[in-house]
């Protein structure tokens, strides 16, 4: 094994120092009561809902971390649907690009738009996840190319796959009696569906799952130098796999998603980099979100008297359990938007390139939109749609697939394991954007 060069060691030390400085600065703000900083640090982010309630009470919370935040349903929906907000800077650059046009000084630093240092760029945008980081017209172009992936005819195929995979996983779990809900059901279900969706060779399925978990951690930014290296290795390996798949599908096309994208690539409608980034997005968005959805749903039903029993009595309530989980404890807790022009929001004038966190999970517990919002009720009639799949131009393209997988998993779990019960504490993931159990020991 080659030893690292002196220059690479210096780079690692510099990056490590910047990461540590940023984390300590953020933690200090959290200790002093900054609500946005608390969302990014333990112990507050392990149960973010009290912080969400505090931010929701303010309407718009200002923070010294470089972003404001909104938590009411009305404000969150307003930002998500307002075309004056995007996910990039007004000139099209990534939001944490160095030498951005507006510096954080004086009053601006208090309200905050975004950091402008290149270290923050590497910390907050370590992985290119395609549509998540694009504004029109590129977002519109790629979304149109990806849309056939979730066409109704394909969803029927995915349902059959999801039912087949779930049945096999539950058969294996029933033999053991005691199992981990995440490791043995919630995680392998969506990763298997995605692998088939992309026609990934079975020999690569385990690596595929590992990449999905690694890439998902990037959404919260780089935690350490070793994490940065892990992400670099993962993206390089994923790129190699997807590039190889492109060559295979070009030589032997099929009815899979990659074959369709290769046609678009060869027609000049997208670049190879865009195809690879889109495949990475399908991996992360389709894997971690559904895993968290199933874990959060079972955890909520088991913790709320009568809810699991109601699902067992009538498994057709599984779809309602999915929707209530998406409102009550969604897999994706928040997103961010940037003002592309001077915009007023909640009585505050946002300058060009000021940023705001849209707290999707806080909106789901807004009593103005959802009566008795802290109570989980799978029979709830949601008169106000939740925002778990975002809104506007960035409404989740895979929402129908996530709902389908969640409904299949919960319905079949209730049908085949009516006596399911926890045998230990569900251990949560320590993340800000994605929320769900890391482990959840149960018995059939």
Domain boundaries, the chain: 44-443
Please name the CATH architecture into which domain 44-443 falls.
Orthogonal Bundle (1.10)
Confidence label for 18 from pLDDT (cuts 50, 70 and 90): confident
Contact 68, 354 (CB under 8 A): yes
User: What pLDDT was estimated at residue 401?
Assistant: 93
Average pLDDT, the chain: 86
Task: Please give the residue that has the higher pLDDT: either 193 or 78.
Answer: 78
Res 362 pLDDT > 90: yes
User: What pLDDT was estimated at residue 220?
Assistant: 78
User: What pLDDT was estimated at residue 96?
Assistant: 62
Q: Of the ranges 35-44, 207-216, 273-282, 388-397, which one carries the lowest mean pLDDT score? A: 207-216
Contact 58, 69 (CB under 8 A): no
Res 341 pLDDT > 50: yes
Give me the half-sphere count of Cα atoms (radius 13 Å) on the Cβ side of residue 337. Answer: 28
Query: For the residues 303-311, what does the mean pLDDT come to?
Result: 97
Query: For the residues 269-273, what does the mean pLDDT come to?
Result: 92
For 434, which DSSP code?
A: B
Query: For the residues 215-237, what does the mean pLDDT come to?
Result: 80
Beta bridge partners of 439: 427
Task: Please give the residue that has the higher pLDDT: either 120 or 356.
Answer: 356
User: What pLDDT was estimated at residue 229?
Assistant: 83
Beta bridge partners of 86: 338
User: What pLDDT was estimated at residue 215?
Assistant: 73
User: What pLDDT was estimated at residue 67?
Assistant: 86
Helix axes 399-416, 318-328, angle to 10 degrees: 120
User: What pLDDT was estimated at residue 427?
Assistant: 95
pTM of the model: 0.89
Q: In the chain, what percentage of residues exceed pLDDT 70?
A: 89
Give me the half-sphere count of Cα atoms (radius 13 Å) on the Cβ side of residue 123. Answer: 21
Give phi and psi for 341, each to the nearest 5.
-155, 170
DSSP class per residue in 135-188: -TTHHHHHHHHHGGGG-HHHHHHHHHHHHHHHHHHHHHHHHHSEEEHIIIIITH
Res 168 pLDDT > 90: yes
Query: For the residues 201-212, what does the mean pLDDT come to?
Result: 69
The token pair at 125 is 């945008």
Res 204 pLDDT > 70: no
């Amino acid at each position: 094994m080659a030893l690292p060069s002196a220059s690479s060691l210096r780079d690692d030390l510099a990056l490590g120092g910047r990461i540590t400085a940023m984390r300590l600065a953020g933690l200090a703000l959290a200790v002093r009561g900054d609500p946005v900083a608390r969302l990014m640090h333990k112990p507050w982010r392990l149960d973010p809902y009290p912080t969400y309630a505090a931010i929701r009470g303010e309407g718009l919370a200002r923070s010294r971390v470089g972003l404001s935040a909104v938590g009411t349903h009305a404000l969150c929906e307003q930002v998500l649907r307002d075309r004056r907000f995007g996910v990039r800077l007004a000139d099209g650059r990534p939001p944490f690009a160095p030498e951005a046009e507006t510096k954080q000084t004086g009053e601006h630093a208090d309200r905050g738009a975004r950091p402008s240092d290149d270290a923050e760029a590497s910390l907050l945008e370590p992985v290119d996840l395609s549509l998540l980081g694009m504004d029109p017209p590129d977002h519109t172009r790629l979304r149109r190319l990806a849309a056939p992936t979730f066409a109704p005819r394909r969803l029927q195929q995915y349902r059959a796959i999801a039912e087949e995979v779930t049945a096999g996983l539950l058969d294996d779990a029933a033999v053991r009696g005691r199992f981990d809900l995440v490791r043995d059901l919630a995680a392998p279900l969506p990763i298997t569906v995605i692998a088939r969706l992309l026609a990934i060779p079975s020999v690569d399925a385990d690596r595929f799952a590992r990449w999905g978990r690694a890439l998902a951690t990037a959404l919260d930014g780089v935690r350490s130098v070793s994490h940065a290296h892990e992400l670099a290795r993962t993206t390089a390996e994923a790129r190699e796999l997807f590039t190889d798949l492109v060559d295979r599908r070009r030589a032997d096309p099929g009815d899979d998603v990659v074959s369709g994208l290769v046609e678009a690539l060869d027609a000049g409608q997208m670049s190879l980099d865009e195809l690879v980034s889109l495949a990475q997005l399908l991996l992360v968005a389709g894997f971690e979100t559904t895993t968290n959805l199933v874990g959060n749903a079972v955890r909520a039903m088991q913790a709320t008297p009568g809810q699991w029993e109601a699902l067992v009595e009538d498994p057709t309530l599984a779809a309602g359990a999915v929707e209530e989980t998406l409102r009550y404890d969604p897999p994706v807790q928040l997103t961010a938007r940037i003002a592309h022009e001077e915009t007023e929001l909640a009585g505050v004038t946002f300058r060009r390139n000021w940023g705001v966190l849209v707290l999707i999970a806080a909106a789901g517990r807004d009593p103005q939109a959802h009566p008795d919002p802290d109570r989980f009720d799978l029979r709830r009639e949601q008169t106000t749609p939740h925002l778990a799949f975002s809104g506007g131009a960035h409404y989740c393209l895979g929402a129908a697939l996530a709902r389908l997988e969640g409904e299949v998993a919960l319905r079949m779990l209730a049908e085949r394991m009516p006596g399911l019960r926890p045998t230990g504490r569900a251990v949560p993931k320590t993340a800000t954007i994605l929320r769900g159990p890391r482990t959840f020991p149960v018995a059939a």
